[in-house]
Structure 1
Amino acid sequence: MKLSEIKKQLATLENVTFQLPNGTYVPENFHVTEVGLITKNFIDCGGKVRKETVVNFQLWNANDLEHRLKPKKLLDIIELSEKILGIEDHEIEVEYQAGTIGKYDLGFNGTDFVLLNKLTACLAEDACGIPESKQKVTLSEIPVQNNSCTPGGGCC
């Protein structure tokens, strides 16, 4: 989800909720402790220089159980971050601590923001010699040739 999309959704909501990949929710008393811009410059395993930029939200739980972040307050935080940090419309990455700090992509299911598991991947599969995934087919779907044996045909 891009920054413009969360702003659009926040304008329509009464409450801000984040659902974890396992279906549970970030406790209602969470804080957004950071909105930032993260740029990662790196070289992939094929030697290609790459650059990724994301808007980072950090969610944190405190012991103030009555705290509730409202959509307008989060919009204000985002707009201040855009103004001060020069943040543009990038994809959002969310940090949330469970056993350790997890990084998630962000989705929306119509009522809740959904933290989506991020996955690692090889960005240079052609340079690494990783074989292409083989297509799985069912034997019954393979067309029978006229000169080939068929089950019960007596040619084997």
Structure 2
Amino acid sequence: MKTQEFFNLLEEHKDKVLQFEYATNQYVAANYHITEVKHITIDSVDCGSQADRWNETIVQLWESPAEAFKTNHMSVLKAFGILKKVGQMKAYDLDSEIKFEYSNATFHTAQLFVNDFEIRDNNFIVKLTIEKTDCKAKELCGVPEQSKDTPINEEPCCSPTGNCC
């Protein structure tokens, strides 16, 4: 989801409570804080020697151990206010992908994509998902697309006999 699209949803639902589902039926606890907003520029080269560049917005969520007793989640209005204040200090690339960085005692630190959202009662629930890593240069490196019927390629793109890197 693009940053602007996310902000539009917050604007539309600012009377709701903001919750994050980081895995199926697993929610960021009510004691979460928005601890950092990162405006990231990725400047990369893939295994097929192709250069690429893009921006991302990464919002870090942290559960405060000192507030583990909390039962009320942050309002959409408060979260949107925090994000707008950040935007006054450092401008967003509103066309960039927005991700949420999160972890807890049982869930590894990950940058999660916004997969969907749901309105349930007075809750605006942001459904997050993990995206698997992938080779961007499959065609260039001769890596076939996998289907359910295709066995796993035994010789990876960047193997000594591969034709990239």
Contact 2:55/2:93, CA 8 A, preserved across alignment: no
Give the number of equivalent residue pairs. 136
Matches within 5 A, 1:53-72: 53-62=55-64, 63-64=66-67, 65-66=69-70, 68-72=73-77
Shift in Å at residue 55 of structure 1?
0.4
**More moved, 104-113 vs 30-39:** 104-113
3-state secondary structure, aligned to 2:27: coil
TM score, norm. by length of structure 2: 0.74
Shift in Å at residue 134 of structure 1?
5.6
Matches within 5 A, 1:1-156: 1-11=1-11, 12=13, 13-62=15-64, 63-64=66-67, 65-66=69-70, 68-89=73-94, 90-98=96-104, 99-111=107-119, 112-133=125-146
Q: 1:134 to 1:29 in 2, by over 3 A?
A: closer
C-alpha distance in structure 1 between counterparts of 2:145 and 2:128, whole Å: 30
- Specify every segment of 5 or more residues in structure 2 that has no aligned partner in the other structure, as ranges: 120-124, 150-165
Higher strand residue share: 2
3-state secondary structure, aligned to 2:85: helix
Counterpart code for 2:144: P
For residues 43-94 of structure 1, what are the alpha-carbon distances to aligned partners after superposition, in whole Å with 9 as ceiling and x for unaligned?
Answer: 0001011112110010100121336321111111111222211112111111
Counterpart code for 1:93: K
TM score, norm. by length of structure 1: 0.78
3-state secondary structure, aligned to 1:16: strand
Q: 1:56 to 1:132 in 2, by over 3 A?
A: closer
2:156 is matched with which residue?
Answer: none
- Specify every segment of 5 or more residues in structure 1 that has no aligned partner in the other structure, as ranges: 137-156
Shift in Å at residue 135 of structure 1?
8.2
Counterpart code for 2:47: C
Identity %: 25
Contact 1:58/1:94, CA 8 A, preserved across alignment: yes
C-alpha distance in structure 2 between counterparts of 1:58 and 1:17, whole Å: 14
